[in-house]
Structure 1
Amino acid sequence: MFTSHLHDPKDLRYSFYVVWFDALASLNREYALLYYTVDNTVEMIDRKTKKTFLKRSSYPDVKLENLFVGSTIVIFGRQLKIVEYADQATREALTKAKEHAFILVRPEAFVHSGEILNIFHQNKLIVAKLKTAFLSDEEAEKLFDCRMYTSGSASSISSSPQSSRSPLTPYSPHYAEYCASASCGLCLAMELVGCSAISLLQELVGNPSFEQAKRENPKSLIARFGKGESRPGLYVSPTLEKSKMDSELILDIPRMPTAQLRDCTTALVYPHAINEGKLGPIIQEILDKGFIISCISHFQLNKSTAGEFFEVYETVIPEYPHIVDEACNGLCVAMEVVLSEDLKSKDSGDADIVQLFRDLCGPADPVVAKTLRPHSLRAMFGNTRVQNAIHCTDLSEDGVLESEYFFSILQE
């Protein structure tokens, strides 16, 4: 365990092992990251030499809520991936506070994905992973079969009342229809992190039975967005073990992106907007305006990938280096957006998806956007020219190219 002198007994310290990839040396460098709660300062110690690499310093962008195993943070330009808790005290304090939970927004509720995400954010649940998927019949049956997760230790079973309700099994009523309906459309899979995340999600989502959810809690997500017993809208993994398995099955194992890679435009929601809880409202605004989101995925860009993607702006806008830095400053979410039939018909079949979506995003400067297009995404969610919430394709001929960059090239 790495130690550091604590001058204030009230100064709680959490310790993490982190890895930084040194591109110049082409090797991973390992450090202990110490986070002090009394003044939100950080310290880094080289694990190999046991010497201080970074003296205790203030770094406001690093917050305790973003420190969990698997997350990536940026400190003075270095992307640090948290791989493990560095001491038992941190592990005991944060294991429950940083619990990982898997949830699936099924096809019948996909049009409400933004609203659902916003509810999660309001309940202090952080998005760790996010991806759209078309489930195969086999995947659906494996995902929803909870026979093996109906009993166990307190560490693996949620304390929510839902954990005592009948779990899904192949013998449940409507089970075949339940699986089939999930594999006939686009789903949104997420791994969320938060305090007692599984039980909190079960409380928010409600009874997995649509009819019971409506009777017990009409405000639950299944009661609000479900369409019936076989189409309840959402699925939550019932235990920690099942969450880990489901996340691996849908989010971690490489799979073909749902992108169409034709007649499309590309959007990239910046890290600052995600940290500020704006991802859900942005997604919902896009859907409510009649656009179709055909693919969503989280990305952790680095200087190389972000610089390559924004290269066309290098000699065009003075903020280019700062935009690259912002894109690397945490988790970002890329989306492929296409036109709905309604939008196509409004433009007599000659609609340009890139132009229409660019109009929705508004001018790059949020100050200008608030004046010229007050209902645009950047006017509503942007802060500055650099932190303007969302990037969108500028040129019609680049719509497919930008989508290919995220959903083809970066997948290799």
Structure 2
Amino acid sequence: MARTRARVLSGSDLLRYLTCGPAVALEIMGDEAASSWRKLIGSPDSSRAENEARTRALYGIDNANTHGSECAATAARELEIFFPSLGKGPSNTAKCIDCTLCIIKPHAIAEGLAGKILDAIEERGFKFTAFQLFKLDQANAEEFLEVYKGVVSEYNGMVNELTSGPCLALEFQGSDIQKTFRECCGPSDPEIARHLRPCSLRALFGKNKIQNAVHCTDLPEDGVLEVQYFFKILDS
């Protein structure tokens, strides 16, 4: 397919592009991470990246779609802007209105399923309005899951799962969003989900009632509270 040669944006153009809407910032770790990432995304000119079969060739319209730090020193400076060691970085994008919470659980992230789950969610027509990785401690997990204490026998296991590694929290907005997204997730027991809702997230990606891939808000009145807990309280 023919492609019009991309225009390399000026510094002022890049600044306007970066501030025109939400962006996703990631810390990527590994041997020679900065140079490896820049090699993966390719040239800032997406028409040159096309010849190299790089990420910018697939998704870029210019040099603004994907950024990569030039070197380790630049990476350290840029990471401090988004993920400061002291204080607070840029604000998140949570709206906390007509919303529901989804958590991609630590076991799913450890198993490399986060991308597949996000793809499945988007294929079903849901678009997230906030997206952030969290590492919960015991107190946070117990407080968040307190509504299940004494109600479900898996409570302790649920707390242990939520503290076992990073989890990915997402906010979704829309009319009757708690009900529609809960239907997308399916029954909490993946085995039951595979019988009743075989295309649901838990049927596709869950292992058992504790490692069931995703958490979703159960009650409509809890949607705002759960979103606020992650994106206003934990992120404060």
Aligned counterpart for 1:273 among listed residues 108, 119, 132:
108
Report if the CA contact (8 A) 1:261-1:400 is conserved.
yes
The alpha-carbon deviation at position 230 of structure 1 amounts to: 5.0
CA–CA distance in structure 2, aligned partners of residues 230 and 224 of structure 1: 12
RMSD over aligned CA atoms reads 1.5
The alpha-carbon deviation at position 305 of structure 1 amounts to: 0.7
**2:140 paired with 1:305:** yes
Partner of 2:70, secondary structure, is coil
Q: In the alignment, what sits opposite 1:319?
A: 154
One-letter amino acid of the counterpart of residue 282, structure 1: I
Write out per-residue CA displacement over residues 279-325 of structure 1, whole angstroms, 9 at most, x where no aligned residue. 11112222232212111112111111100100101122110110001
CA–CA distance in structure 1, aligned partners of residues 211 and 201 of structure 2: 12
**2:73 paired with 1:241:** yes
The alpha-carbon deviation at position 390 of structure 1 amounts to: 0.8
Partner of 1:266, secondary structure, is strand
CA–CA distance in structure 1, aligned partners of residues 220 and 165 of structure 2: 28
Q: Equivalent residues in 2 for 1:322-337 (5 A)?
A: 322-337=157-172
Partner of 1:369, secondary structure, is helix
CA–CA distance in structure 1, aligned partners of residues 154 and 117 of structure 2: 23
Name the structure with the higher strand share: 1
**TM-score, normalized by length of structure 1?**
0.53
Unmatched tracts of structure 1, length 5 or more: 1-171, 340-350
CA–CA distance in structure 1, aligned partners of residues 207 and 40 of structure 2: 31
Aligned counterpart for 1:387 among listed residues 172, 186, 211:
211
Q: In the alignment, what sits opposite 2:48?
A: 212
Partner of 2:227, secondary structure, is helix
Q: In the alignment, what sits opposite 2:178?
A: 354
The alpha-carbon deviation at position 173 of structure 1 amounts to: 4.5
The alpha-carbon deviation at position 274 of structure 1 amounts to: 0.7
CA–CA distance in structure 1, aligned partners of residues 176 and 194 of structure 2: 24
Q: Could you say if the C-alpha distance between residues 361 and 332 of structure 1 is closer, same or farther in structure 2, counting changes exceeding 3 Å?
A: same
Q: Which has the higher contact order (CA 8 A, sep 6+)?
A: 2
Partner of 2:187, secondary structure, is coil
CA–CA distance in structure 2, aligned partners of residues 334 and 188 of structure 1: 13
Partner of 1:234, secondary structure, is coil
Q: In the alignment, what sits opposite 1:222?
A: 56
One-letter amino acid of the counterpart of residue 273, structure 1: A
Q: In the alignment, what sits opposite 1:285?
A: 120
Q: In the alignment, what sits opposite 1:177?
A: 13
Q: In the alignment, what sits opposite 1:96?
A: none
Q: Equivalent residues in 2 for 1:9-24 (5 A)?
A: none
The alpha-carbon deviation at position 200 of structure 1 amounts to: 2.2
One-letter amino acid of the counterpart of residue 198, structure 1: A
Q: Which has the larger radius of gyration?
A: 1
Identity of aligned residues (%): 38
CA–CA distance in structure 2, aligned partners of residues 392 and 181 of structure 1: 33
Partner of 2:119, secondary structure, is helix
Q: In the alignment, what sits opposite 1:367?
A: 191
Name the structure with the higher helix share: 2
Report if the CA contact (8 A) 1:322-1:386 is conserved.
yes
CA–CA distance in structure 1, aligned partners of residues 72 and 155 of structure 2: 42
CA–CA distance in structure 2, aligned partners of residues 337 and 188 of structure 1: 16
Q: In the alignment, what sits opposite 1:260?
A: 95
Partner of 1:194, secondary structure, is coil
Report if the CA contact (8 A) 2:197-2:203 is conserved.
yes
Unmatched tracts of structure 2, length 5 or more: 1-7
Q: In the alignment, what sits opposite 1:147?
A: none
Report if the CA contact (8 A) 2:44-2:63 is conserved.
no
CA–CA distance in structure 1, aligned partners of residues 197 and 37 of structure 2: 36
One-letter amino acid of the counterpart of residue 13, structure 2: E
**TM-score, normalized by length of structure 2?**
0.90
CA–CA distance in structure 1, aligned partners of residues 223 and 180 of structure 2: 12
Partner of 2:192, secondary structure, is helix
Q: In the alignment, what sits opposite 2:3?
A: none
CA–CA distance in structure 2, aligned partners of residues 402 and 193 of structure 1: 30
CA–CA distance in structure 2, aligned partners of residues 220 and 288 of structure 1: 24
